[in-house]
Amino acid sequence: MVQLKPLDEHVPIFHQLNADVSPVVLVNVFTVLESDIPALLKTWEDDANWMKKQPGYISTQLHRGIAGSTVFMNYAVWESVAHFRAAFTHPDFKKALAVC
C-alpha cells in the first residue's frame, strides 16, 4: 500500500533512532496508489491518535501534494529522540505497522 523512501539513504530511520537529540522533528515522505488514499488517511489518523497519547509527543501534520498528487509528507515533533523511539518501538505501534 505505502511506498516509503528514506529522506537520507545514508542515515535511515533506524540509525536516527540512536541519536540523543532534543527536540526532534521526524519527516517522512511516501507515495500511495490513488485507490489506497482512503485507507492511508484512516491509518494515519489512527496512528496519529495513538501517538498523541505517548509521552514526549508535541504535534504532527500530514500534507498531500496538489493537483491529484499521491505523494504525502508527514512531520511530527517530539520532545526528544528517546520519546519518539519509545513510541515507535512500542509493541502496540509495531503491531499496527505490520498490518499496513
**25 Cβ neighbours under 8 A, 6+ residues apart:** 75, 76, 77, 78
Quote the pTM value. Answer: 0.77
Number of domain units in the chain: 1
Residue 38 domain boundaries: 2-99
d(C-alpha 34, C-alpha 54), whole Å: 31
d(C-alpha 69, C-alpha 9), whole Å: 23
d(C-alpha 93, C-alpha 46), whole Å: 10
Domain with residue 88: its CATH number is 3.30.70.100
Question: Which grid coordinates are listed for 12?
Answer: 535511515
* pLDDT, tens only, 19-59: 787 898 988 888 999 999 999 999 899 889 999 999 999 99
Q: What is the DSSP letter of 79?
A: S
Return the top range by mean pLDDT from 2-6, 7-11, 84-88. 84-88
Report pLDDT for 92. 77
